[in-house]
């Protein structure tokens, strides 16, 4: 509809000015509402500081100035003061730190003092608005479990208090980053220590020795906390799980010298982890490299355990072969046991031989089969003379390895060779 006595151009000028006036009016009303809310919160804060906290007038005015700036920041971010979270407060402090650097060209000299200048008034304001601040953490039961565990260990009360303080800071860090204590990883611990160390460096005259002590205190408390929460800490690595399974495998097979096997197994598994090698895909050349490197390191660090390098290599290779056979099912590649060996083992199990005898008997028969293959004979064509030749060959190997013949040769001959071979013939 046109207004009488006006041109179309004048009419078009009226419309945008009208819309601008409406927008300005709406913003003005919104600003008035914000100022009214700000006044209400500040009035409540003043009453709380003066009457509930009994602070002097100078401290009250300082707190009021800080709270006023914080309320205006919240208004710009459209965050109601009743809905403020620890993450919002952290973002605000980060913004204030950036402003400080732009004004002064440096970070605050005393980070703790600078931080408390803002957090003390804001915490009071948020207590007025929300009834409680900081919000009650959901990890109190974790702290209580840690308290019980530390007291059970008989630690001094001061040590318990310090450990709980360190653990509480770590749990607060996890909460701010949305990580539950049950899901915490070593990376979360490292990130927390790194961020905390940056604050520590800004508050004290930091030295390498002080930083090491600081890390040790926090890491000890955090590890003890996560052990209470998760049941085991640090979490078992794949290498540790493999070692545990292999040790159970040795026990199941009744192998006696488990300490030697465990020592070599630990060295080999640590090597695999350090070189990021998958046990299920290890190749013979990688085993050769490991034995060469491990022997050199063992000579350097544990010379008393490598009095005979050849014997060390044999026992190490035997353990490595056992681990890889346990993981891959066949090791070395192409060395799957013959059906005859499988039948022989089943025969011993049916006859209820002990779990400690069966592996030794199977190993002896396996060596005898390799001996027959070396002299070009099949097992069906074997004769007593072949068994005697095999025992003679084994005796030579024993003397070369130990520098003397077996102390009880009849028992050695029967236990290591003849008994197993006789059982093999009965299983055919």
pLDDT digits (tens, 9 = 90+) for 179-202: 888 889 889 999 999 988 888 887
Q: Which token pair is 380? A: 């069906």
Q: To the nearest whole number, what is the mean pLDDT of the chain?
A: 80
Asked whether residue 163 carries a pLDDT value surpassing 70, the answer given is: yes
Q: What is the mean pLDDT of residues 216-225?
A: 93
Q: What distance in Å separates the CA atoms of residue 46 and residue 215, rounded to the nearest whole number?
A: 41
Cα diameter, the chain: 134
Q: Which token pair is 36? A: 């009214």
pLDDT digits (tens, 9 = 90+) for 388-423: 888 888 888 878 777 888 877 777 776 555 444 554
Q: What is the DSSP string of 358-410?
A: HHHHHHHHHHHHHHHHHTT--STT--HHHHHHHHHHHHHHHHHHHSS--TTHH
Q: What is the mean pLDDT of residues 239-268?
A: 73
Q: What distance in Å separates the CA atoms of residue 159 and residue 342, rounded to the nearest whole number?
A: 60
3-state secondary structure of 277: coil
What radius of gyration do the chain's Cα atoms show?
Answer: 38
Number of helical (H) and strand (E) elements in the chain, helices listed first = 17, 0
Task: Report which of 125, 6, 138 is spatially closest to residue 66, judged by C-alpha positions.
Answer: 125
Asked whether residue 78 carries a pLDDT value surpassing 80, the answer given is: yes
**Contacts of residue 417, Cβ cutoff 8 Å, sequence gap at least 6:** 364, 368, 387, 390, 391, 394
- The position carrying tokens 């630990």 is 266
């Amino acid at each position: 509809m046109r207004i009488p006595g006006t041109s179309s151009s004048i009419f078009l000028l009226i419309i945008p000015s009208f819309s601008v006036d409406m927008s300005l009016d709406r913003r003005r009303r919104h600003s008035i509402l914000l100022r009214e809310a700000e006044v209400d919160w500040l009035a409540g804060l003043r009453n709380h500081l003066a009457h509930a906290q009994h602070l002097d007038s100078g401290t009250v005015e300082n707190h009021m100035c800080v709270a006023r700036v914080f309320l205006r920041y919240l208004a710009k971010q459209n965050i109601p003061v009743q809905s403020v979270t620890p993450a919002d407060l952290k973002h605000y402090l980060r913004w204030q730190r950036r402003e400080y650097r732009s004004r002064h060209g440096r970070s605050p000299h005393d980070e703790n003092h600078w931080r408390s200048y803002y957090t003390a008034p804001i915490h009071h304001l948020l207590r007025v608005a929300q009834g409680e601040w900081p919000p009650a953490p959901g990890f109190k039961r974790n702290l209580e479990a840690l308290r019980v565990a530390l007291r059970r260990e008989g630690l001094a009360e001061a040590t318990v208090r310090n450990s709980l303080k360190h653990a509480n800071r770590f749990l607060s860090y996890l909460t701010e980053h949305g990580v539950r204590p049950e899901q915490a990883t070593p990376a979360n611990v490292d990130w927390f220590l790194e961020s905390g160390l940056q604050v520590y460096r800004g508050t004290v005259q930091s030295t390498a020795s002080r930083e090491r002590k600081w890390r040790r205190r926090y890491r000890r408390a955090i590890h003890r906390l996560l052990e209470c929460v998760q049941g085991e800490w640090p979490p078992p690595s794949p290498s540790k799980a493999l070692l545990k399974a292999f040790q159970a495998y040795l026990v199941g097979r009744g192998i006696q010298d488990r300490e030697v096997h465990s020592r070599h197994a630990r060295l080999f598994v640590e090597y695999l982890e350090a070189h990021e090698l998958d046990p299920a895909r290890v190749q013979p050349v990688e085993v050769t490299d490991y034995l060469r490197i491990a022997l050199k390191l063992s000579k350097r660090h544990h010379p008393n355990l490598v009095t005979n390098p050849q014997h060390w290599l044999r026992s190490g290779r035997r353990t490595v072969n056992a681990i890889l056979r346990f993981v891959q099912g066949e090791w070395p590649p192409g060395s799957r046991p013959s059906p005859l060996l499988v039948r022989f083992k089943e025969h011993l199990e049916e006859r209820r031989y002990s779990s400690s005898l069966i592996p030794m008997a199977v190993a002896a028969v396996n060596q005898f089969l390799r001996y027959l293959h070396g002299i070009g004979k099949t097992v069906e064509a074997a004769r007593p003379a072949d068994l005697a030749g095999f025992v003679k060959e084994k005796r030579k190997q024993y003397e070369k390895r130990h520098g003397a013949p077996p102390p009880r040769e009849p028992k050695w001959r029967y236990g290591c060779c003849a008994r197993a071979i006789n059982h093999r013939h009965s299983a055919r």
